Chains A and B, each alone.
Chain A
């Protein structure tokens, strides 16, 4: 191990602060249950990376790292996460037999090999970049990019355009059939019901309870007997386990659920005909 002449004590301190934090944040990828948490961990790692680039006399790359990775790529990830939503696939239960142990063993093996290589490598003393960065680092890098590797730059440009076109093509959806109106939708639903497929409820799903005291999309509706109807709560909330039981809700919802609710005197019906029509429609 050869000590580099380059680098200051400050850099060492920076490294020892940021490095472990980056490792911990990266571990979120492995252990976070929710993809968004993992994404946040990764964003932290990337910003830390930008710090390290700067410390390594590569301020241009540090900026590019923030702009490209944190600003574009990770935002894209989060967007897609939002688009796709959460799913059972997020569960950490392993489906392939032994995969987790294989992964651990291979990870350990990889660490061993990389450590072996790094520890036995005969590293030369660092030359430092003062000379290369005399015209400031971005200018030096620009000379390099637009000088000796300009053809590669052209190719990368083509690649980016192709990738953009590819993404558009992949996500673009041709409309192959006429737009289904409400009537057609209901008819399809009834046919599916007749075949024994699809939902076993013909009516629209009941709305979740919307009561005062609470933005209560997470509180299930109650049936006439006061029992909660699960399907009234949006699927995502149910998957995430954010559904509330009626008993958890303050006020008369809990009273209804527990059967202690006393019906207040109903206000007089102002429009009898309308309510009759409603009853007829129900039938």
Chain B
């Protein structure tokens, strides 16, 4: 079955190609076909997992050779699949959550005329993401990496008749290119220093890397990871990426694609282990982004953008864990999986809410939705408790492990990273509770369409309703995962043991604080965050328009000026550079060319007078030549 692992990729890819090629002829059944393809990929993945589980732990890393891809002299790259616990974890996550989101989209996109195209893109994304995680070399990984970038671009800009959305898609694409450049250069350095870009080859040879080279490669890989995972300083695109349909936000910009950076860091373990500086930088980036994202999430009134900030923050946790080295890898992946479930659940819940509220995303126009959307409320509540880390929900198991791990170490690092993780947990509790209370509790800040209130009422008229079964069912499944997955995966040595063949065995280290103290502190802070949010948004009424707020709030609303910084640092200088180059091109280069031409013409015009057609003039020139040549010869001889 392992040899057939390529089917996991091939099925959604073929489905996508089929839907795109058939065009409108497949409109009627395209969505069902695509969903079936996603489910089929999941089933094949499940069979592969079953077989790998049957192997002894040491044998679980399987390399499947597919074909010789780039046989170019010294650079010979084979396309092959790496089927091991890490990639299979991702395969399961991608295909399972992906299938659920396919199902959800059937309901969500019912009324969209381009639904078939949407499903084709979703399949394309699933296929590309599977290539990314199943690749056995950085080169093939890069193919998937670009594939998901393409799918992300297509899906963010799915409603590209709206200029803002198209711009958001372009922004995401361009900022991802910055990260991709890091990945490409990293690959180039690998080939230059190691002569190979396959995982097995790099892992085998990485020990021989000099520290500066390893650090350079590590930092460049981190740059790639930052671009894909919306980590500081390449985080600004994620908020705008919410322009895409909500299922896209759930699948690509919450559960799977944005976690590819974490996958890359864990995959490049051998490089990072050889470069402590790169690891430290990774941890710093993670810690900073987790606070930054949390702060942004606090400031946003747009439910999806708030969730985007939350995603940024949660991935910050994962990157922090991955930056801590082998002891953190398993927890990073663990949190990644649980996060995939509850964050997808949250997004789909938000999608339901939007669906019910005429596609409005402004939380200030929600409120009191619990009564009309009971199922959505329940699933959202479960996922909310999971993400803020209340036991026994999934987030508690995974996040708490990361916080504990962050406290491991010596010197200033455990205190800084642990402190950041703790504060992050508290802020997470606050903003998620804020979102939950603003949306489902308090007084309704909307008016039912049927009400007889006067037209001067500022509240929007809505008719909220529960979503159909095809949309609620996937959310329920995800909610079940959000409840149980943490407990299930940490049974025994659970996911840690499953991943051990890849991440290596990590010695248990004692944190600088006793574990019960950390857990207690975390829970106390979480409770405080929830209480604060309840006091402000649950008990009190929420104004319909946002108050001015503190400077921090205003900054958070503007993503801490990320766009302004990017514009000032990259866009404007870039535009100036291009303008200068264009000017230089026209003035200097073209000028030289046209100048040479004009000079030739002008000199020709002057010299043409010599060609006057009179034989005697030519004779005079000949004689002049003779005189000059004779004089020169004579003078030189002297």
Question: What is the interface of chain A, defined by CB distance below 8 A to chain B?
Answer: 96, 99, 102-103, 106, 109-110, 112-114, 116-117, 120
Contacts and interface: CB of A to CB of B under 8 A. Distances in A.
Given A103-B620, A106-B620, A117-B634, A96 B614 contact: yes
B297 to A, nearest CB: 90
B617 A110 contact: no
Given A110-B626, A117-B630, 8 more contacts: A96-B617, A99-B616, A102-B620, A103-B620, A106-B624, A113-B627, A113-B631, A113-B634
Given A109-B627, A110-B626, A110-B627, A116 B634 contact: yes
B4 interface: no
B638 interface: yes
B588 interface: no
13 contacts: A96-B612, A96-B616, A99-B614, A99-B616, A106-B624, A109-B624, A110-B626, A110-B630, A112-B631, A113-B631, A114-B630, A116-B631, A117-B634
A112 B626 CA distance: 12
Interface of B: 612, 614, 616-617, 620, 623-624, 626-627, 630-631, 634, 638
Contacts of B614: 96, 99
B104 to A, nearest CB: 94
A137 B631 CA distance: 37
Contacts of B617: 96, 99
Nearest to A116: B634
A120 B623 contact: no
A120 B638 contact: yes
A114 B614 CA distance: 27
Contacts of B624: 106, 109
A109 B631 contact: yes
Nearest to B635: A116
B623 A113 contact: no
A78 to B, nearest CB: 23
B623 A106 contact: yes
Nearest to B622: A106
B108 to A, nearest CB: 91
A104 B627 CA distance: 13
Nearest to B630: A113
Question: Which of B624, B627, B638 neighbours the largest number of chain A CB atoms within 10 Å of its CB?
Answer: B627
B624 to A, nearest CB: 6
B620 A99 contact: yes
Contacts of B620: 99, 102-103, 106
Nearest to A95: B614
A29 to B, nearest CB: 15
Main secondary structure of the interface of A (DSSP, over half): helix
Nearest to B617: A96
A159 B101 CA distance: 101
Closest 5 CB pairs of A and B: A109-B627, A113-B630, A106-B623, A113-B631, A102-B620
Contacts of B634: 113, 116-117, 120
Nearest to A102: B620
A116 B630 CA distance: 10
Contacts of B616: 96, 99
B638 A110 contact: no
B638 A106 contact: no
A80 to B, nearest CB: 18
B608 to A, nearest CB: 16
A54 B175 CA distance: 100
A114 B629 CA distance: 12
A120 B626 CA distance: 19
A126 B620 CA distance: 36
Contacts of A102: 620
A102 B618 CA distance: 12
Contacts of A120: 634, 638
A96 B631 CA distance: 27
A110 B616 CA distance: 17
B380 to A, nearest CB: 100
A117 B632 CA distance: 11
A266 to B, nearest CB: 61
A278 B631 CA distance: 77
Nearest to B638: A120
A117 B617 CA distance: 26
Question: Which of A106, A116, A117 neighbours the largest number of chain B CB atoms within 10 Å of its CB?
Answer: A106
B368 to A, nearest CB: 104
Nearest to A94: B616
A149 B16 CA distance: 92
A102 B634 CA distance: 22
A43 to B, nearest CB: 24
Nearest to A106: B623
A37 to B, nearest CB: 21
Contact of B623 (A96, A110, A112): A110
A113 B638 CA distance: 13
A90 B350 CA distance: 109
A99 B616 CA distance: 8
Question: Which of A99, A110, A112, A113 neighbours the largest number of chain B CB atoms within 10 Å of its CB?
Answer: A113
Nearest to B637: A120
A156 B638 CA distance: 38
A120 B617 CA distance: 31
A99 B627 CA distance: 16
B620 to A, nearest CB: 5
A220 B105 CA distance: 120
A103 B616 CA distance: 10
Nearest to A113: B630
A210 B638 CA distance: 72
Nearest to A109: B627
A108 to B, nearest CB: 9
A117 B612 CA distance: 33
A96 B614 CA distance: 8
A154 B614 CA distance: 37
Contacts of A112: 631
A252 B624 CA distance: 61
A112 B627 CA distance: 9
Contacts of B631: 109, 112-113, 116
A109 B638 CA distance: 18
A46 B511 CA distance: 123
A114 B631 CA distance: 9
A115 to B, nearest CB: 10
A102 B624 CA distance: 9
Contacts of A99: 614, 616-617, 620
A114 B626 CA distance: 11
B610 to A, nearest CB: 12
A100 to B, nearest CB: 10
Nearest to B620: A102
B630 A106 contact: no
A113 B634 CA distance: 8
A103 B627 CA distance: 12
A109 B630 CA distance: 10
B609 to A, nearest CB: 11
A103 B612 CA distance: 16
B139 to A, nearest CB: 75
Contacts of B612: 96
A12 B638 CA distance: 31
A109 to B, nearest CB: 4
Nearest to A120: B638
A113 B623 CA distance: 12
Contacts of A103: 620
Contacts of B623: 106, 110
B343 to A, nearest CB: 93
Contacts of B630: 110, 113-114, 117
A271 to B, nearest CB: 62
A261 B22 CA distance: 122
